[in-house]
Amino acid sequence: MVRVSGEQTSARFLQLANTHSITVLIPARNEERTVGEVVSKLMDRYGPDSGRLVQIVVIDDHSTDNTSAAAAKSGAQVLTRKGPEDATGKAETITEGIRRFPSDIYVLFDADISNFNPDWVELLCLPIDRGNAILAKGTYHRPVQTGLGSHGRFLEGGRVTELVARPLLSMCFPDLARFGQPLSGEVAFKAELARSGPFFAGYGFDVGLLIDSYLRFGLESIVEVDLGERTHNHQELRALSYQASQVASTILIKAGIDVAAFPGAGRLIRPSLPDKTVPFGALKILKST
């Protein structure tokens, strides 16, 4: 595992962008408050006027607010998924973005980052242009609002990471449990990784990508990149059950366990609430348009 931190990379990145197509994909659902600023910062640094050939795409996953309009106003290409035939979910949305926008290198960011730094594009892309690296995985510090209204600075992952992903990775893929943020949405990867096999449904995307890179190309194919500090929206604990279910299913499936045989497979059962369907497993292999 290699750790990469901030360095002056602009000249090297310009050379990379001149020889490889690079596409930034931002999956978004109801993120009108933050997506415009993320896109604006990317356009200022990497848009047409910069001379850097980076394509910036927002994929709107069935938003009910003005996410698409905010992204388009800031200069992004926008792919809107609103129809009932368009499957919803993080992996499903990213899969459609990759299918519609072929590229040599993909860079992914979440849309809810309130302190987005465009330097992250360069920090993530450059390591995978060297050696055997095929996936660059962001790690970061997480300021979290405390009950007293102040901010505590945490170095560990989020709640789903520490309570679900890291324990399961420690059992099934111990090498990968050492990554600071195995569920990080800030990644860059070569198109070869996207073509090597299907992504995993919904919130299983991030950890599935990490495990696939490890199993198919070895630990040396993964670079951990220190992005500094990252601030984003924090969901209520109950809202994380769905995400945790997909993360757990993905890790268990990749470890060879037949999750579909479990009596409650594909369901989230909670007291006083209707059972919720939780898609899991591999999506269809990508075919570019």
CA 161 to chain CA centroid, nearest Å? 14
Give helix 90-100 / helix 205-217 axis angle, nearest 10°: 60
Task: Name residue 285's amino acid.
Answer: I
Q: Domain with 52 in it: what CATH number?
A: 3.90.550.10
Record the tokens describing residue 201, joined without a space. Answer: 């449904």
Binned at pLDDT 50, 70 and 90, residue 6 comes out as very low
Q: What is the largest CA-CA distance in the chain?
A: 57
Per this entry, what is the length of the chain?
A: 289
Q: Which pLDDT tens digit goes with each residue over 212-221?
A: 999 999 999 9
Q: Is residue 282 part of a domain?
A: no
Q: 270 in a domain, yes or no? A: yes
Amino acid at 138: G
Residue with tokens 């292999």: 285
The total of structural domains in the chain comes to 1
Give the global pTM.
Answer: 0.88
Instruction: Please name the residue that has the structure tokens 């111990």.
Output: 174
- Within 13 A of 47's CA, how many CA atoms are on the CB side? 12
The predicted-structure confidence for 65-95, as pLDDT tens digits, reads as follows: 999 999 999 999 999 988 777 788 888 999 9
Judge whether 234 lies within some domain.
yes
Is 289 domain-assigned? no
Structural domain including 254 reads 2-277
Looking at the domain assignment, is residue 45 inside a domain?
yes
Q: What is the mean pLDDT of the chain?
A: 86
Residues 66 and 48: beta-carbon distance below 8 Å? no
284 lies in some domain: no
Residue 238 counted as domain residue = yes
Q: Is residue 287 in a domain?
A: no
The tens digit of pLDDT for each residue in 224-242 reads 999 988 776 666 777 789 9
